[in-house]
């Protein structure tokens, strides 16, 4: 298995991930978010409403974990990383999001001004293709 190639394929084709943050009470909190992965800098981008609870949680503790949501069998990526507010906006990456998730155009048009863009930076990831093909890579 070419683990890096499989990693890039899964990150490019899957559209949702389960993002776990640390709640303001210290307990984990998980939710599904759409994402765009930039293979040039190995950064995940996701947008969220400014008044969303995850904004408060990330402001208090930037440590996150995620797993992509499988669309083909059990194929997924999981990792831990650091979430930070992006210097870019969802408008800056609109084409990237919309090319991956065409319906995201409606979200950007109707709510783009209400969204904050976040980045997830991570150095290692576990690539799972099936029960027998699981490997961890360093990016």
Beta strand ranges found along the chain (DSSP E): 16-22, 28-34, 36-38, 43-49, 63-68, 76-85, 115-121, 124-130, 133-138
Residue appearing with tokens 């083909």: 72
The model's pLDDT over 39-88, given as tens digits with 9 standing for 90+, comes to 999 999 999 999 999 999 999 999 999 999 998 799 999 999 999 999 99
| Domain parsing of the chain, residue ranges | 3-138
Is 40 in a helix, a strand, or coil?
A: coil
pLDDT over 80 at 20, yes or no: yes
H or E, element range at 104: helix 104-111
**Whole-number pLDDT of residue 122:** 98
Residue 135 — very low, low, confident or very high, per pLDDT cuts 50/70/90? Answer: very high
**Whole-number pLDDT of residue 71:** 87
Residue 24 — very low, low, confident or very high, per pLDDT cuts 50/70/90? Answer: confident
**Whole-number pLDDT of residue 1:** 76
Alpha carbons 76 and 69: distance in angstroms, whole number = 6
Q: What percent of the chain has pLDDT over 70?
A: 100
Alpha carbons 23 and 8: distance in angstroms, whole number = 30
As a whole number, mean pLDDT of residues 89-99 equals 97
Residue 29 — very low, low, confident or very high, per pLDDT cuts 50/70/90? Answer: very high
Vertex 106, ends 100 and 47: CA angle to 5°? 65
The domain defined by 3-138 carries CATH number 2.30.110.10: yes
As a whole number, mean pLDDT of residues 10-36 equals 95
Q: Which of 129, 14, 11 is nearest to 73 (CA)?
A: 129
Residue appearing with tokens 């008044």: 51
């Amino acid at each position: 298995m070419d683990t890096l190639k499989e990693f890039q394929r899964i990150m490019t084709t899957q559209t949702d991930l389960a993002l776990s943050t640390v709640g303001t009470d210290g307990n984990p909190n998980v939710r599904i978010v759409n994402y765009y992965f930039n293979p040039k800098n190995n950064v995940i981008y996701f947008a969220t409403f400014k008044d969303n609870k995850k904004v408060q949680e990330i402001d208090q503790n930037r440590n996150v974990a995620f797993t992509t949501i499988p669309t083909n069998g059990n194929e997924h990526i999981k990792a831990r990383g650091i979430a930070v507010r992006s210097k870019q906006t969802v408008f800056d990456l609109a084409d990237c999001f919309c090319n991956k998730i065409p319906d995201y155009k409606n979200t950007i048009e109707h709510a783009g001004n209400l969204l904050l863009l976040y980045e997830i930076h991570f150095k290692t990831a576990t690539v799972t293709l099936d029960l027998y093909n699981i490997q961890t890579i360093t990016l």
